Structure 1
Amino acid sequence: MSGESTGYDAADIEVLEGREAVRKRPGMWVGSTGERGLHELVFAVVGWAVNEVLAGRGGSVDVTLTSDGGVRVADDGPGGPFDAARHTGGPDLEALLTSFHAGPELSGRHITDVGQFRAGLFVANALSSRLTAEMRCEGGRRVQEYARGVAVAPPAAAGSATGNGTIIAFWPDTELFETTRCSFNVLEERFRQVAFLNRGLGISLTDERPAGEARALLFRFPDGVRDFVAALDAEAGAAVPPDVIGFEREDPRMAGTMEVALLWTGSGQERIVGFANSRATREGGTHLDGFRDGVAAAVIAYARERGLPTADLDPRDDRIGRSLTAVVSVKLDRPEFLGATRGLLGNTEVRNCVREAVREHLGNWFEEDPERAAEFVDRIGRGVHED
């Protein structure tokens, strides 16, 4: 079909760039203009703050839903130069707020994905009717305000300050979003997960919108995914604090680290959740395949050594995982996600690395506590043979 027959040629092509492109098609950058996209906008700013804190060995990120419909995100990260005139290396805050290309794309095992889209500060700024940014560094404060992604004035000194960090407050644009009211419960669930997966990180969530007293929660978990498994067990109705099995390991073959925790319960249900670089892998992946392989190998090896009935189990029998609650978190320099939703981890080398580590650690635990090990392995055997 020719351009002449349709009346369509190069003059009809609309090229959108930068802020204009983001505001014209907001769903492309945050997933939707509904509640889901609104939360991605919040995750974009919180994700940047979390990575600032983790990189600078800071401690906390504080998120506040303000009474006037805004969101304020404060961190105690290292801070730094606000604008290019004072900049000494790496992208400055003003550049991150006004350009897609302020620096190289963040990647690697030390980067935490809070949202699904990695929208970034530029997208958050462009999709907000108003945004203010404050940087505390070297004893001083510098502040800048934006309107729909455009600076109202240059960064300005705003007096002295103690400590370092950043505060970004923004108001999602009512002209673009179907709703600008965030769900406290959705944010609570995700921030809680991120705190579990990044041991020692503190994330607080405060809601100043309800009439009367504000709601406030603080998430900080010194035992990381072990605390995560204990919480999952408590949600299932366990009355006694569990004895969680857990370990961490770095493996250069997969260019990353793994953190695994597990617990056998009496529920009869399998509850195994996986994460890659703090991103939930709801469709599974090689890290969860490796975990199941390792559990099966450890259970069968232990049973064979002691002549238990479970020794004849097929390693692929999914009943081995019954009554098992576990969290498998890997952090990789080069994660490979499969599918449009990026919910399936595909790094092939991860499977064998996790399998070996789980088999070794669980096997050692069986040897150290043979009575409980025999109880668990026998329970698996009884469950299989009852079927």
Structure 2
Amino acid sequence: MTHAYDASSIVVLEGLEAIRKRPGMYVGSTGERGLHHLLYEVTDSAMNEVVLGSAGRVEVVLLADGSARVTHDGIHERPLDHQLTVLRPATRSTSDRRTVSWYDIGLYVVNALSDRLLAEEWRDGVTTRQEYSCGKPIAPPHPTGPADGTGTAITFRPDPEIFETVEFDRPALAARFRELAMLNRTLDVVLTDERGEEPHTERFHAPDGVREFLTQLGADPAEAVVVEREDERMGGSMEIALAPAGDGEPQVLGFANSRRTEGGTHLVGFRDGVTAVLGKGARLTAVVSVKLDEPSYEGCRREILGNTPVRACVAEAVQHALETWRDQHPQRAAALTAR
């Protein structure tokens, strides 16, 4: 006997049920990648407040009970309870180039995939508290006392029934926060791990921006050529640092809106600019970061930037900067292609 398949056979999952039933659709996986995705969503939301100027510092604490707490001293424009209980559409505003976030699952999904979430907000002289379990409110937002200053703290514990591991990898988190600090020079992030016998604290702040990134890649920042330009033709800005690779292996890293890319028009444009001045054999280490109002990517993994105007804009800026550098340092320029 066969069963007919019709509209009555379709099960529509909505809201919390959909997220908890198919978590991989929202955070990528139920392994460590998805676990970190949750934390990055909360931290990126807080970091945006710093980059946009409404907050000064972000503090991330890995707590002994497996929870993570993210605190900042700014004020959210949208009500916090609305962010935690409404799934926002995956759209972006034209101010995105100034923010660090490229995730877009929203705090709602973090709430849905946490077995416990506590949100505290300090504003207008009042401390407001709200608690949730698996995305459902335990109690409505309620005042708990006075408040000095402003700020928000979100403490969440990933649901062990959803994730294969609920143990955050501190070195992996530190690497990402360090990278974001170098790509967004106004960021100030403190990461504390309280899970060991002694707390471990690191601060990530890179006022020299991508120039400091060159140090991480083994190049000498003192020899760096830095390109910073806003270009409305590509609908965004660029920040590029390059230096001779020296005895090390040349490396060129690309980023679009603070997301690591494997290729794309920004990297092609960089190579065009370098080749026009130094030829194809130039041994350089570089960081090429662009921030766009409307980034367009090739493929579902969004690893290749596709915005066509970016290529010409980056090539022009790099060529001009290198021509100036070459004229000032002809011997050093010649040495780049001598090997």
Q: Under TM normalisation by the shorter chain, which class is it?
A: over 0.9
> What's the counterpart of residue 311 of structure 2?
351
The 3 A distance-change label for structure 1 pair 76 and 192 is: same
Q: Is the 8 A contact 1:264 1:376 kept in 2?
A: no
**Quick one: distance in 1 between partners of 2:81 and 2:334?**
58
**What's the secondary structure of 1:49's corresponding residue?**
helix
Q: Does 1:201 align with 2:187?
A: yes
Q: 1:263 to 1:57 in 2, by over 3 A?
A: farther
Decide which structure has greater helix share: 1
Could you tell me which residue of structure 2 aligns to residue 145 of structure 1?
Answer: 131
Equivalent runs, 1:222-261 vs 2, <5 Å: 222-233=207-218, 242-261=222-241
Deviating 4+ runs (over 6 angstroms): none
**Superposed displacement of residue 31, structure 1:** 0.5
Contact 1:249/1:259, CA 8 A, preserved across alignment:
yes
CA 277–68 in structure 1, closer or farther in 2 if over 3 Å, else same: same
Deviation per residue, 1:332-363 (Å, 9 max, x gap) = 00100111210100001000000000111121
Give the counterpart of 1:297 among 257, 276, 280: 276
Deviation at 1:5, TM superposition (A): 5.3
1:93 alignment partner, one of 76, 80, 86: 80
Equivalent residue for 1:75, pick from 72, 85, 109 = 72
Q: Which residue of 1 aligns with 2:155?
A: 169
How many Å separate the matches in 1 of 2:90 and 2:320?
41
- CA shift in 2, pair 1:222/1:206, >3 Å: same
Question: In structure 1, what is the Cα distance between the partners aligned to 2:89 and 2:139?
Answer: 19
**Is residue 200 of structure 2 the alignment partner of residue 215 of structure 1?**
yes
Larger Rg computed on CA atoms: 1
Match runs of 1:1-387 below 5 Å: 6-77=3-74, 79-80=75-76, 91-101=78-88, 105-106=92-93, 108-113=96-101, 117-210=103-196, 212-233=197-218, 242-267=222-247, 269-281=249-261, 283-299=262-278, 315=279, 317=280, 319-320=281-282, 322=283, 324-367=284-327, 369-370=328-329, 373-380=330-337, 382-383=338-339
Aligned partners of 2:90, 2:151: CA distance in 1, in Å?
20
Q: Secondary structure at the match of 2:100?
A: coil
AA in 2 matched with 1:91: R
Specify the SS of the correspondent of 2:190.
Answer: strand
SS in 2 for 1:58: coil
| C-alpha distance in structure 2 between counterparts of 1:15 and 1:246, whole Å | 52
Distance 1:269 1:362, change over 3 A: same
- Residue type of the alignment partner of 1:36: R
Q: Is the 1:230–1:244 contact (alpha carbons within 8 Å) kept by the matching residues of 2?
A: no
Deviation by residue 1:288-341 (Cα, 9 ceiling, x = unmatched): 111111111122xxxxxxxxxxxxxxx5x3x22x2x111011000010011121
Pairwise CA RMSD of aligned residues? 1.9
CA contact (8 A) 1:91 1:102 kept: no
| Superposition deviation, residue 139 in structure 1 | 2.2
The count of corresponding residues between Structure 1 and Structure 2 is 338
Flag the 1:102–1:295 CA change in 2: closer, same or farther, 3 A: closer
Q: Contact 1:233–1:242 at 8 Å: present in 2 too?
A: no
Within 1, Cα distance between the matches of 2:126 and 2:253?
44
Looking at structure 1, the residues matched to 310 and 190 of structure 2 have their Cα atoms a distance apart, in angstroms, of: 33
* One-letter identity of the residue aligned with 2:216: A
**Per-residue deviation, 1:58:** 2.2
